[in-house]
Each structure stands twice: as C-alpha cells, then as structure tokens.
C-alpha cells in the first residue's frame, strides 16, 4: 500500500494600500501632563510636538500672539500648553492705578513657554486654585513685567498634595513673582527676579508704579535645583520669605545670590526670613548682601525647632552694609533653633559700615545650638565704633566646635567696651577641642600673624563665661608651659581677635600580621604614621608594655615606638614570642593632641594538622573522623579528586559529614583535608579504602522445562540485571539447588551470587515443568488431559459434571508469578454440551488469563488391545540334527482392555504376515508355533490360529503371557536340514481379537 502525502499550506494574504500624503501634514500627539515631585521630572514634564507657522496646533496647545489670545488660553481648561509667539503687552491696563486685576483660571497642569519673548502683565494676575489636585505648572524661557503684588501667576490649594510651580530660565521685574504657599516652587536654570516699586515698560517706555515694597517670593517650600542660578533682589523688602514649617533646599552646585534693598518693606527685618529649614548642599553657594546703609539683617531663623544646615563643602556668605540692632542681625537664630556648619563647609559673616550701632553679628536665642563641625570654617568680622558683642549666645545655648579648619572671631571695632563673645547669664560655656589658638589684644591685625598669644596644640578646652567675661579657662596641651599660659591668659574680654586653626590630623596604619612563625610579620610589627607620632600597640598577649613616655605630659601611657622622619615605625617582639591568629592588633598614633588608630587581625597562615579519617563502608551515610576544631573538612577521591562529602568539624574536633550520593563505590581510596577559617589547607590524611559490605543483586529468570529435561548447569543464564557496587565482572555464579524436573508443575532452583569480598546473595529461580498437556501464559500454567468415559459414567448434575471433568482430566494450575498452586481457581467456562450421548465434546477451562480446551470422548465401551510386545527374539541358535523347541529370549505378553457395558466371551488369534524367511527368500515353513501344553500348532500365512480364549470375561484389563511355562506359549520349532547357516530369519505376527458369542 502506498501512502499518498499531501502538503497543506495556509496562505496569509496581506493587502497593502498606498495612502496619499498631504503636503505639509503634521501629526500632533496629545498628552496630559502629570505632576511629579522629583528634581529630574520637573525639567521635563511636558511632551508635545510644537507646531508653528501656518500649521494647525494640537487641541491642547494654544499659540498666543496678544493678551486677548493669552487670556483666552489661560481660561480654557482644555489648554495644557501655551506657546507665546510674540512679545505681549497687556495694554488694557494703563499707567494709572497699580491695583491688582486678578482672574481665576481652571485647574490643570499647564506649561507656559515664552520662547524667549517678553510679556508685560501690568496689573493682571492669574489664580489657579487646585484643591488637592497635584497640578504641575511650568513657566519657562520668558521675560516678564508685572505690578500685581500676588505676581502674574499664583497657585492656591491644599498643602503637601504634590502641586508644583516651576520657573525655568525666567527674568522678572515687578512687584512680586509669586505668592504660592501651598505649592512647591522650583527654580531651574537661570532665574533673575527683581522686586521693584516701578519699572519702565519695554513696550511704550512709560514708567509703571507697582504694588511696591514686595518680597521676591512668598513660599513654603522652594527647591533650587542642581546647577541652577537664582539672582534675587528687592528695592525695599525681604528677598525671600519662607513660611512656617517650610524648607528651602539649595541643591548641589546651585548658586543663590540675594540682595536686600532698603531697611523696611514687606517683612522688613532681614534679607532671607526662614520660618522653616534651610539646607545648602554640597558645593552650593548662598550669598546674602544688604544694600549700602541698609539696617536690615542678613538671615533670620525665626522659629523654635527649625534649622540651617550648611552641608559638606557648601558656602554661606552674609555681608551687611549698615548699622545693626539685635533682631536685625546678619545671622539671627531664634530660641530652640539650630545652626550647623558641616565638614568642609564655610560660613563667612562680614558686618560693614556698622558705625555706632550695637547689634551683634551672630545672635542666638536661648536653648539653641551653633555648631561648627570638623574641618568647617567660621569667619565673622565686624567694624564700627559703637560698643557691641560680636557673638551673642543665649541662655543654655550651645556654641562649640572641635577640630575645625578655621574659626576666626574678629572685631575691627574701636570701642574698648566691645567684646568678642557674650554668653547670657553667669553659666555660659564655650567648648572647643583640638585646635591651635591665637589671640590679638588690639585691632589691625594683618593676615594671621603678629598674634599676642599662641597656644599650640590645645585640646579639651572649656571656657566659662559670665556675660562677656571669661571667668575660667581650662584646657590641655602637650607641655605644661602652654597649658598654664592658656588657663591664665585666655580672656576674650581682653582680645580684639581670636583665631582657632586646625591641627593636622595624625595618620597611622599597621601592616598585615601573620601567625606563621617562619615569616617576619609574626614577631615584627611595622607600619606608617605621621612623622614624629608616638605609636602604642595592643591586642595580643605577646606585645609587652611600652617603654617610651608620651609627648603629652598629661598622658601617663607608655608607647612602643616613635615614627621616624619618613613616618615609618617598627617594633620587634621579645625573643621566641609570636602573634596569635585571630587577635586584633591595634596601633594607636598620637601627636600634638590628635590621635588615630588602625587595627588589623593577625592572619591565620598556619595550616591545620592533617585530619584523621575513620573507616568507610560502601553503605556509610556519614564520614567521620577528627580535625582542627571548626575547620572545614573535605573528603576527596584519590582517583580524580571528586568531593565525596564536606562539612565543619565541631568545637571538640569531631566531624561527621553526610554522604549525599550513596552507595559509595567500594575499593576506591579517599583522603581528607582540613581548611581553617583563613583558608589554610592541611596535609592529606591517610587514605582509606572503601569496604565492600553489600552483596550483589540480580533478578531471577523464570525457567520453563519439559518433563524429564536436564536442568542447566550455567547459573549465570538463570538471572538477569546482575549488579554489584564493585562491578559485575567479579561476581561468581553458582547453582545451589536444582529443581525436580520429573513432575509437572512449579519447582525452583537456588542461585548464589558472591562478590570478591565474599558478600553472598541467594536468588530463587522459579521453574515450571511442562508436558504435552500443559498450556501457559504470563500469569498462569494449566495442565489438563483428554479422556474417554462410558456413557454410563456420565453424571447428570452440573456440579457432578464439573467434578468429573476436573478429576478425569487431571486438572492442575499454578501461578506463574508466585509458583503457587491455584488449581482451586480453575473454572469450567464451557462444557461443550457434554452428556451421556456417545460422541466427542470440547471442554473449555480457564484460570486467570489462560484458557485451555480438552476433548472428552463418550463411548458405549470397547474391547481392544492396550499393549502388545513389539519385538520377539529367539537369539542366535546352533544348527543341530534333531528337532528342538526354542523359547523367546524375553517375555511375550498381550494386554486386552474390556470396557463394554455388557461383557461377552472373546478370543485372540495369531497369523503370519509372511513365512519366517531370510532376506534372500529362504523360508522355514511351519517353524513358529503355539505350544498348548506340549501340543504344537504351527502359525501360517493362510489362516489364523487361536491363541487364547476368554470364556469368563470381566471388565478391565486381561494380560496374556505367552512366555514359556504358561497355558500357551510361542516357540520356534527347528527341524534339521531346513536351516541355512549364518542367516537371519524374520517375519511379522498379526494378532486378532475376536468378540465371540
């Protein structure tokens, strides 16, 4: 049959149409701006395609060319981007009244892109009330003028809902840029904001009066983003007013320049009023300046719990240029507020043109803190002729610094009553640590030289004040003379300038150390420190006490070594002493009141001793032995270094490692190593050979033999799937017991499998003996024979019939799987209609999945031969001259079975098929005869001779013995002269059984 293949292909048809392209066609993607809080997102919060010229803009974009189209766009809630296409003048507002003209606009995120144009808003101000909607409003690339003291645009709503108002590259001249307390204001790029009381419009050259004396910005939170530059100035007002709980954040590399004009106006007392917090970040700069003769302060931290942080490497410069009064100070810190100058940061305060005024340059309220961190700079100067305190510290306020880079307190003031420091009350305290201290008694110092006193180094300084006077000064130095001079002479009431300078840090390091006694760094400790530094060592019992007195007379500790001019130091332990692994050795370096430590852990570079490895069996689930406590023990194959097991020894050195892959192959060798926490690996342990304790295994092969067969002598053929963990090539197979093959049914043999270690496994081999009457399947074997039965012996009931069949057929059955006798499970599924009617009947037997058919023959009975001697031999005889009778060499017997229902007499006759003759045809006529008690009756070819008559017949088998000595016997009657010598004579006898009446 040929197979016809057909290839089915699914065709995908795609029709492409060429669309006409409209000339100058522009596709606009509409968008909805989403307000975002991060600095990165503020710069890029809109995404649209600008369409200019004659092309139509997207529905959400408005291109405005005059104040009417701008006003319409501002009022249209669908507009989210306004593109200013021309300079625009709100000419509907004249030079008359500067009254505010406010308009509420719909709430939505909005971008106003000035595209470099100028807009004079005059009195117009737009108010967006956003509620809790986190709108994002951006004004960029525009120059603006305005008279409204709310500013051209302000936002109002619920605070802290994420609303954003961003100014990017904006120049504004007018009353105020914005008053938006509830939105976060962001400054991006370059923003110049000039708050003036009047301006000349660039459109008509006329002067417009503003709602004057306004601050630049009234906000709660303002962010000056990275690299931005804000220039803010006022004509007569505070520059920025940060509202309650707000935060001003000046980001990295940003610059803010604030110039405060006049001495009054909105807020009126300072240049930068902070009712919240100010953070000046890395490398950012805040410059605050007041105009000439202004009596305004510089920066005011106005509320309890607020703080100013000048962060690492940031700069805050405050310069005032007029008379000062307390409350309008260059720096004013309210009670409970905090001011911190961080590492590397600078705070420079310069009070100029103070004349006869009395105000302090630094004024702190009660319970506040003013802290200069390590490496910070604080430089404050003031001129004038009036009596003043340069720094005024309130009750329980903290003014402290330690290891500052520079703290310069300088009064260029001619009043003899002026003081550098005033601490309110009689319990003020200045706490200073680790500085070089200089002091000048008179004004006019040039640079940092020409000091009256020099105390270097000083540390642990605590200076007590009562008002402006130092009552006691304590501190430590490395020598008594310096220390004594400081305590006796440090009196700021006598100084016009005091300068605290940083002392160079002390460096110290320690080289790696080892416990390996063969290496130098196990007993010699080396390192590098500041030249001249005193080094003290500790951390290991092998290190003795030092012997070198400290540089500092206050220090009673003894040191081990002094760093040389190159900064190197070396210390050798006493002879035959060594460092111990795991100990932490510390080098403490000290110089000029400053110290540093460096610590190293003594390396464990000594390998553990070789572990021990206990015996291993192929069935082992764990490998055991001893090793260095807490070391990692790994057991490897000698053959290929494959890992058998790994784990950690206990604190007692005992280990037990789980074997994951079992069984272990026997006769292989394994060794162990121990690795300590430092990674040092021990020598190998003694190798251990795995013992074979597991006997081989195999599956028996069921054998089927015919009755009387000889059982095999090859044991290996009786099993399959032989396995031994050492390999099957060394298994010895032996037949231990053989089956009985002389009876049909189940028997068994026993096979021994023995490996080279002597481990033995006995396997039972199922053996089934069959004959011509057996049939088998994979589940069962059934034996049943055909049989005959007389009609008179056939019962009528089914149960009796079943019993007859099972017994006469000699039925037996066995389970192939188990060998069990299951004859009782045999059923007769079809009797074939068996009855007493003569004939042949097919009977079907079943057990498990096996069926077998037998034939039952029902007869009326018969008379028949059941056995006849097949060969009669008279042997080799000598020829004689006389007649003589010769008997057969063996017995001659006939068996007749009589199963007839009615018995009658019967006879047996004999007749020759041919005369007794040779191959050549020589005959011996009348030589075979039946001897009836001496009377011979010759057997002939022509007729049958009666041999036996049964006149008293009975059912059963009758045996007729024709051997010599019976009632009748067969003999050879030899007559002389008729026999040829050396000839063999043969013939056949025909036996006839006759049912006689």
pLDDT tens digits for range 551-583 = 999 999 999 999 999 999 999 999 999 999 999
Distance CA(431)–CA(421), nearest Å, equals 13
**Average pLDDT score over residue span 946-973:** 87
Answer whether 386's CB lies under 8 Å from 355's CB: yes
- Is 495 part of any domain? no
Residue 391 pLDDT greater than 60, yes or no: yes
- The confidence score (pLDDT) of residue 255 equals 99
- The confidence score (pLDDT) of residue 428 equals 87
**Average pLDDT score over residue span 414-419:** 96
**Average pLDDT score over residue span 536-559:** 97
Confidence class for position 12, pLDDT limits 50, 70, 90? very low
Does 875 or 501 have the greater pLDDT score?
501
Distance CA(620)–CA(670), nearest Å, equals 13
Q: In whole numbers, what is the pLDDT of the chain averaged over residues?
A: 91
Question: DSSP letter at 157?
Answer: E
Residues 731 and 820 in one domain: no
Distance CA(956)–CA(820), nearest Å, equals 37
List pLDDT tens digits, range 80-108: 999 999 999 999 988 777 789 999 999 99
Burial degree of 276 (CB within 10 A; 0-12, 13-18, 19+) = buried
- Is 986 part of any domain? yes
- Collapse the DSSP code of 482 into the 3-class scheme (helix H, G, I; strand E, B; otherwise coil) and give the result: helix
Q: What is the per-residue DSSP string for 239-257? A: SEEEEEEEEEEE-TT-EEE
Tokens 């063969």 belong to 518
Q: Which of 75-79, 546-550, 884-888 is the least confident region?
A: 884-888
Residues 895 and 828 in one domain: no
Q: Which of 286-295, 347-356, 677-686 is the least confident region?
A: 677-686
Residues 748 and 782 in one domain: no
Residues 886 and 936 in one domain: yes
Residues 896 and 956 in one domain: yes
Number of domains in the chain: 5
At 729, phi and psi to the nearest 5?
-65, -20
Residues 876 and 973 in one domain: yes
- Is 227 part of any domain? no
Distance CA(505)–CA(502), nearest Å, equals 9
Residue 203 pLDDT greater than 60, yes or no: yes
Domain-ending residue, one of 636, 654, 689: 689
CATH code of the domain in which 552 resides: 2.60.40
CATH code of the domain in which 793 resides: 2.60.40.10
Residue 205 pLDDT greater than 90, yes or no: yes
Residue 457 pLDDT greater than 70, yes or no: yes
Residues 702 and 623 in one domain: no
Residues 855 and 872 in one domain: no
At 907, phi and psi to the nearest 5?
-135, 160
**Average pLDDT score over residue span 208-235:** 97
Residues 846 and 890 in one domain: no
- The confidence score (pLDDT) of residue 860 equals 84
Residue 297 pLDDT greater than 60, yes or no: yes
- Is 487 part of any domain? no
- Is 963 part of any domain? yes
Confidence class for position 25, pLDDT limits 50, 70, 90? very low
Confidence class for position 997, pLDDT limits 50, 70, 90? low
The whole-model pTM stands at 0.61
- Is 797 part of any domain? yes
Residue 386 pLDDT greater than 80, yes or no: yes
Beta strands, E only, 718-759: 719-723, 732-737, 745-754
- Written in H, E and C, the secondary structure of 358-406 is CCCCEEECCCCEEEECCCCEEEEEECCCCCCEEEEECCCCEEEEECCCE
Residues 544 and 596 in one domain: yes
Residue 5 pLDDT greater than 60, yes or no: no
Answer whether 105's CB lies under 8 Å from 128's CB: yes
Distance CA(308)–CA(342), nearest Å, equals 11
Distance CA(706)–CA(821), nearest Å, equals 18
- The confidence score (pLDDT) of residue 8 equals 26
Residue 477 pLDDT greater than 50, yes or no: yes
- The confidence score (pLDDT) of residue 601 equals 97
Confidence class for position 435, pLDDT limits 50, 70, 90? very high
Q: Which of 38-42, 79-83, 464-468, 837-841 is the least confident region?
A: 38-42
Residue 56 pLDDT greater than 70, yes or no: no
**Average pLDDT score over residue span 148-171:** 96
- The confidence score (pLDDT) of residue 876 equals 87
The sign of the torsion formed by the CA atoms of 409, 410, 414, 416 equals positive
List pLDDT tens digits, range 886-904: 999 999 999 998 888 778 8
Q: Give me the percent of the chain exceeding a pLDDT of 70.
A: 94
Domain-ending residue, one of 667, 689, 711: 689
Domain-ending residue, one of 669, 689, 709: 689
Residue 510 pLDDT greater than 60, yes or no: yes
Range of the domain at 726: 697-765
Residue 44 pLDDT greater than 70, yes or no: no
Distance CA(995)–CA(997), nearest Å, equals 7
Return the number of other C-beta atoms located less than 10 Å from residue 442's C-beta. Answer: 10
Question: DSSP letter at 799?
Answer: H
CATH code of the domain in which 979 resides: 2.60.40.1090
- Is 481 part of any domain? no
Residues 881 and 855 in one domain: no
Residues 677 and 794 in one domain: no
- The confidence score (pLDDT) of residue 955 equals 83
């Amino acid at each position: 049959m040929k197979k016809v293949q057909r290839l089915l292909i699914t065709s995908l048809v795609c029709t492409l149409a060429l669309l006409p392209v409209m000339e100058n066609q522009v596709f606009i993607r509409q968008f909805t701006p989403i307000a975002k809080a991060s600095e990165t997102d503020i710069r890029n919060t809109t995404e649209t395609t600008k369409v200019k010229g004659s092309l139509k803009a997207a529905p959400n974009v408005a291109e405005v060319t005059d104040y009417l189209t701008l006003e319409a766009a501002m009022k249209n809630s669908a507009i989210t981007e306004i593109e200013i296409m021309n300079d625009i003048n709100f000419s509907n507002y004249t030079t008359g009244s500067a009254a505010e003209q406010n308009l509420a606009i719909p709430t939505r995120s909005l971008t106003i892109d000035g595209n470099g144009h100028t807009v004079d808003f005059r009195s117009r101000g737009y108010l967006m009330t956003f509620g809790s909607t986190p709108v994002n409003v951006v004004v960029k690339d525009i120059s603006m003028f305005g008279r409204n003291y709310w500013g051209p645009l302000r936002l109002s709503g619920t605070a802290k809902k994420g609303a954003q108002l961003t100014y990017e590259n904006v120049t504004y001249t007018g009353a105020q840029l914005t008053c938006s307390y509830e939105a976060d204001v962001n400054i991006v790029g370059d923003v110049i904001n000039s708050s003036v009381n009047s301006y000349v419009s660039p459109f008509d050259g006329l002067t417009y009066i503003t709602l004057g004396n306004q601050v630049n910005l009234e906000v709660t939170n303002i962010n000056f983003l990275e690299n931005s530059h804000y220039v803010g100035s006022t004509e007569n007002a505070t520059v920025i007013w940060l509202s309650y709980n707000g935060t001003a954040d000046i980001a990295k590399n940003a610059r803010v320049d604030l110039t405060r004009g006049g001495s009054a106006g909105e807020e009126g007392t300072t240049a930068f009023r902070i009712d919240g917090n100010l953070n000046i970040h890395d490398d950012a700069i805040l410059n605050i300046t007041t105009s000439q003769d202004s009596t305004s302060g510089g920066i005011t931290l106005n509320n309890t719990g607020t703080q100013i942080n000048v962060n690492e490497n940031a700069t805050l410069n405050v310069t005032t240029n007029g008379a000062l009064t307390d409350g309008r100070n260059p720096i004013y810190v309210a009670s409970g507020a905090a001011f911190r100058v961080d590492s590397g940061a600078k705070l420079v305060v310069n009070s100029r043109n103070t004349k006869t005024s009395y105000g302090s340059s630094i004024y702190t309220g009660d319970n506040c803190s003013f802290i200069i961190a390590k490496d910070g700079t604080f430089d404050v100067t003031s001129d004038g002729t009036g009596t003043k305190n340069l720094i005024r510290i309130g009750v329980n306020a903290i003014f402290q610094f330690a290891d500052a880079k520079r703290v310069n307190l300088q009064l260029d003031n001619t009043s003899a009553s002026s003081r550098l420091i005033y601490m309110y009350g009689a319990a003020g305290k200045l706490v200073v640590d680790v500085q070089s201290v200089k002091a000048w008694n008179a004004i006019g110092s040039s640079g940092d030289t020409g000091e009256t006193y020099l105390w270097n180094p000083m540390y642990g300084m605590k200076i007590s004040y009562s008002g402006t006077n130092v009552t006691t000064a304590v501190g430590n130095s490395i020598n008594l003379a310096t220390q004594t001079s400081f305590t006796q002479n440090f009196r700021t009431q006598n100084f016009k300038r005091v300068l605290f300078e940083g002392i160079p840090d002390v460096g110290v390091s320690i080289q790696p150390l080892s416990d390996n006694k063969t290496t130098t760094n196990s007993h010699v400790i080396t390192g590098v420190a500041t030249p001249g530094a005193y080094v003290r060592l500790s951390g290991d019992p092998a290190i003795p006490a030092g012997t070198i007195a400290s540089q500092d007379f206050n220090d009673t500790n003894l040191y081990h070594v002094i760093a040389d001019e190159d900064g190197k130091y070396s210390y050798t332990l006493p002879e035959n002493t060594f460092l111990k692994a795991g100990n932490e050795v510390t080098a403490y370096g000290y110089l000029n009141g400053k110290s540093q430590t460096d610590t190293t852990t003594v390396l464990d570079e000594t390998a553990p001793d070789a572990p021990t490895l206990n015996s291993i069996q192929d069935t082992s689930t764990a490998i055991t032995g001893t090793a260095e406590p807490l070391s990692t023990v790994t057991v490897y194959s000698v053959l290929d270094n494959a890992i058998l097991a790994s784990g950690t020894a206990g604190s007692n050195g005992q280990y037990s490692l789980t074997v994951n892959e079992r069984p272990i192959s026997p006769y292989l060798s394994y060794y162990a190593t121990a690795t300590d926490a430092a990674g040092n690996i021990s020598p190998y342990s003694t190798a251990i050979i795995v013992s074979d304790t597991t006997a081989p295994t195999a599956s028996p092969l069921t054998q089927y033999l015919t009755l009387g067969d000889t059982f095999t002598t090859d044991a290996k053929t009786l099993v399959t799937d032989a396995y031994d963990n050492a390999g099957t090539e060394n298994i010895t197979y032996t037949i231990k017991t053989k089956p009985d093959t002389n009876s049909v049914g189940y028997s068994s043999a026993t096979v021994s499998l023995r490996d080279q270690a002597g481990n033995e496994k006995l396997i039972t081999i199922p053996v089934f003996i069959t004959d011509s009457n057996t049939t088998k399947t994979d589940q069962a074997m059934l034996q049943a024979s055909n049989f005959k039965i007389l009609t008179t012996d056939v019962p009528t009931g089914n149960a009796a019939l079943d019993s007859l069949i099972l017994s006469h057929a000699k039925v037996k059955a066995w389970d192939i799987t188990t060998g069990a006798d299951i004859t009782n499970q045999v059923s007769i599924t079809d009797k074939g209609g068996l009855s007493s009617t003569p004939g042949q009947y097919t009977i079907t037997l079943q057990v498990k999945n096996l069926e077998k058919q037998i034939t039952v023959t029902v007869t009326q009975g018969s008379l028949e031969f059941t056995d006849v001697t097949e060969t009669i031999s008279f042997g080799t005889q000598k020829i004689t001259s006389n007649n003589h009778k010769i008997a057969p060499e063996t017995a001659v017997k006939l068996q007749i079975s009589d199963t007839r229902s009615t018995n009658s007499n019967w006879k047996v006759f004999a007749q020759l098929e041919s005369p007794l003759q040779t191959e050549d045809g020589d005959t011996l006529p009348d030589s075979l005869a039946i001897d009836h008690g001496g009377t011979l009756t010759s057997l002939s070819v022509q007729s049958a001779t009666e041999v036996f008559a049964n006149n008293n017949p009975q059912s059963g088998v009758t045996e007729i013995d024709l051997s010599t000595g019976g009632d009748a016997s067969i003999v050879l009657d030899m007559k002389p002269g008729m026999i040829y010598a050396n000839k063999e004579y043969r013939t056949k006898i025909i036996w006839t059984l006759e049912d006689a009446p």
